[in-house]
Structure 1
Amino acid sequence: MTDVDLTADPLHDSPALREFFGDSYDRVARFAVMLADQGVLRGLIGPREVPRLWERHILNSAAVVPFLGEGTIVDIGSGAGLPGMVVAAMLPERSVVLVEPMERRTQWLFESAKECGIDNVTVVRGRAEEVDEVVEADVITARAVASIDKLVKWSAPLLSPSGEMVLLKGRSAGDELERGKYVLRKHGLVGSVHEAPTLEGLEATTVVRLQRQG
């Protein structure tokens, strides 16, 4: 495996990336290289995604880290490992659980964690609504999985009594919150929308934080 497929990405191996990720850069970069090398073949990313992998996927995932509070992090619908693998690489002291229903994707998560030296992850195969007896989260993350109301219905039962959800969303996050307000109220959650910047000159990522009322 080489990084040849990532050389088209103008950010790859840049000083700005190294400064942003600090001590976690090597782990994150190994994962990025592996995703570029195998992601298209395994159906994890599209062929046009590789030249913008760092901005569109890795940095977008990394933007959630400052919002993750304390305790066990559970990434719902991990898929390619976004944001879960990036989060685990950046927070090696935290326990990160990757929940993914598709067998071929859980295999990818196992392999990439081992290959990249990211040893603080646990991979659980199943849908969020199926794993509440074996998974408890202090913080739940998700990216490009479902609308907020659906994510809350599926995932809220996994939350610890003081747990929260921190979701990566697009520009319509406010509208999603409005549409999901009755589901949030049912589960005792209050939502807020935040901008999460990464590198200078790049568009900020939108993060939705769902916290317990009171």
Structure 2
Amino acid sequence: MDEVVGAEGGGETSTISDDPLHGTPELRAYFGDSYERVAAFAELLADQGVLRGLIGPREVPRLWERHILNSAAVVPFLGDGTIVDIGSGAGLPGVVIAAMLPERRVVLVEPMERRTTWLFEACERCGIDNVSVVRGRAEEVREVVEADVITARAVASIDKLVKWSAPLLSARGEMTLLKGRSAPDELERAKYVLRRFGLTGTVQSAPTLDGLEPTTVVRLIRSA
């Protein structure tokens, strides 16, 4: 794994064991061969995430549903080639994607130094070696990063993400974004920006485990 450096947590503590999904047969079946890598990351994030300011203390008992599975939901929608995760932060979804797709190259773009340090350490400790960590904002790394697929989660509205990130796309590149229930409205507001960059958007429902609310994915592909 490579690291590329550019510009720049009272009371009883919850653990990953407090998450009712942790270690369940359903979870193991969903992740298959990648379960051990993903679980190692989930356990490390639960242990270090609050201390490092990556997640809130109330997030630990629901880490799998709220963060790990939410991130994993994007995987079936990813096209071929190099995946670039914008604003990786805690590693969601980028580290989860890399753990699930060890044959793919994944680039994590993050402007904050302490978070790039976390990303590098987390991947190293969890045996995820198909990752490069690049420090900087999307608009600052255009000379060193080219993406076939761009992902992002909880970073910005669709119009802003496209303005910042679309210039990183290869000729046939696409964007696959994790969004909330407001995704159709965001997509409508972004229509002029999408047109400028030659992109067309669709909203997809991305289910994971039975009984859990599906994740919303927005795919932006080259217009015909």
Q: TM-score, normalised by structure 1?
A: 0.98
Percent of aligned pairs sharing the same letter: 81
The alpha-carbon deviation at position 7 of structure 1 amounts to: 1.1
Q: 1:162 and 1:7 mapped to 2: Cα distance?
A: 43
**How much has 1:49 moved relative to structure 2?**
0.1
Query: Residues 122-201 of structure 1: matches in 2 within 5 Å?
Result: 122-201=132-211
- Cα distance in 2 for residues equivalent to 1:37 and 1:70: 33
Return the letter of the residue paired with 2:32: G
Q: Which runs of 4+ in 1 moved over 3 A?
A: none
1:68 to 55, 78, 100: 78
| 1:108 aligned residue | 118
Separation of aligned partners in 2, 1:187 and 1:85: 28
- In 2: Cα distance, 1:28 partner to 1:83 partner: 11
Structure with bigger RCO (C-alpha 8 Å, 6+ apart): 2
Cα distance between partner residues in 2 of 1:155 and 1:146: 11
Q: Deviations over 1:148-173 (max 9, x none)?
A: 00000000000000000000000000
Matched AA of 2:183: A
TM-superposed deviation, 1:69: 1.1
Stretches of structure 1 lacking an aligned partner (at least 5 in a row): none
One-letter amino acid matched to 2:131: V
User: What letter matches 1:15 in structure 2?
Assistant: P
Aligned length, in residue pairs: 211
Q: Is residue 2:91 matched to residue 1:81?
A: yes
- Counterpart AA for 2:121: E
1:52 aligns with 2:56: no
Which amino acid in the other structure matches residue 68 of structure 1? L
Cα separation, 2, equivalents of 1:157 and 1:186:
11
In the aligned structure 2, how far is the partner of 1:8 from the partner of 1:22? 22
Residue 23 (structure 1) aligns with:
33
One-letter amino acid of the structure 2 residue matched with residue 92 of structure 1: P
Q: CA RMSD in A?
A: 0.6
The equivalent of 1:95 in structure 2 is: 105
**Whole-angstrom CA distance in 2 between matches of 1:46 and 1:156:** 31
Amino acid of the residue matched to residue 161 of structure 2? L
Matches of 1:212 and 1:70 in 2, distance apart?
A: 14
| 2:148 alignment partner AA | D
**CA distance in 2 between partners of 1:212 and 1:130 (Å):** 23
Equivalent position of 2:17 in the other structure:
7
Once the two structures are TM-superposed, the CA of residue 84 in structure 1 deviates from its matched residue by 0.1
Deviations 1:57-78 (A, max 9, x none): 0000000000001000000000
CA distance in 2, matches of 1:7, 1:78: 25
**What are the superposed Cα offsets for residues 9-45 of structure 1, whole Å, 9 maximum, x if unpaired?**
0000000000000000000000000000000000000
* Alignment TM-score, normalising by the size of structure 2: 0.94
